[in-house]
Amino acid sequence: MPTSENDSPPVYREIADALRSAIDSGELSDGDRIPGENELMKRHGVARATARQALSVLINEGIAVAVRGSGVYVRAFRPLVRHGRARLSRDLWGAGRSIWEADAVERPFAADSVTVAELLAPAHVARALGLGSDEQVVARRRRYRLDGRPMQLATSYLPAALVSGTPVTREDTGPGGIYARLAELGHAPAHFTEEIRVRMPSPDERAQLALAPGTPVLHIMRVALTAGHRAVELNEMTLDGSAYVLRYDFEA
């Protein structure tokens, strides 16, 4: 029975830690039912509210999911490894392949809720792309799903003067995506910069990504530049923080 003292974690966190250890060790696998409130009450000699708090910790961390009328289960989902260098390689999009292929491999992914619009560049977009305050951009908004689960929201902003009237403005930009189309226009991306921060989602982001309460998001701002260092795209991405592993390669 957990017996938290003044300097120890609350009892419900001790129980949550024990359950998390069982998941990490494989004792509880993807899709397995986690001991419910009644079982935790008996096992640890705690009140129902304490058992409920312990389960809520796992749900809020995104490693468990509550199924109404059934119980709480280990979330049956493998995190997606986002390989920063491999996914942006010209060898990938230059050959007409999607940059998602570097991440998802053979797992089913799809973009939905695709919208394309031309609008006045928001202030932060104009700064990133080196545009004037009165210049237009083409904004491409998408939501991505993996294994049927919403994973990422993304909006690409491109100078309208560069891409207006080209395949970049179509819902389906064709093999290799917008980077392949930019290359055809003579503005192939040659450098990328990314800034990443962790924050809590807005209500709209939480709804669109179907996030459990307390789940943070990764907010990524990526700028694509040509060999001449002209900024040709700003991609603003919001990722489910419980669903990704970020991987980067560096030379010593």
Which residues is 153 bridged to in the sheet? 143, 238
Amino acid code (one letter) for 162: L
Which residues is 140 bridged to in the sheet? 116, 156
How much is the pTM?
0.74
Amino acid code (one letter) for 83: H
Select from 240, 141, 238, 155 the least CA-distant residue to 196: 238
Question: Does residue 14 register a pLDDT over 90?
Answer: yes
* Domain over 80-247 is classified CATH 3.40.50.720: no
Domain boundaries, the chain: 11-74, 80-247
Q: Is 180 helix (H, G, I), strand (E, B) or coil?
A: helix
Select from 141, 137, 178 the least CA-distant residue to 161: 137
Q: What is the pLDDT of residue 112?
A: 84
pLDDT in tens, 166-184: 999 999 999 889 999 999 9
Sign of CA dihedral 176, 179, 185, 189: negative
Q: Is 88 helix (H, G, I), strand (E, B) or coil?
A: coil
Per-residue pLDDT band for 105 (boundaries 50, 70, 90) equals low
CA distance 239 to 185: 30
Instruction: Classify domain 11-74 at the CATH topology level.
Output: Arc Repressor Mutant, subunit A (1.10.10)
Question: Does residue 93 register a pLDDT over 80?
Answer: no
Sign of CA dihedral 32, 55, 75, 26: negative
Q: How many CB atoms lie within 10 A of CB 115?
A: 11
The C-alpha angle with vertex 149 and arms to 181 and 63, in degrees rounded to 5, equals 130
Phi, psi values for residue 126, rounded to 5°: -60, -40
Q: What is the pLDDT of residue 196?
A: 94
Q: What is the pLDDT of residue 6?
A: 56
Angle between helices 11-25 and 37-44 in degrees, nearest 10: 110
Q: What is the pLDDT of residue 248?
A: 79
| Tokens at 35, concatenated | 């001991």
- Give Rg (Cα) of the chain: 22
**Which is more confidently placed, 44 or 250?**
44
Phi, psi values for residue 45, rounded to 5°: 65, 45
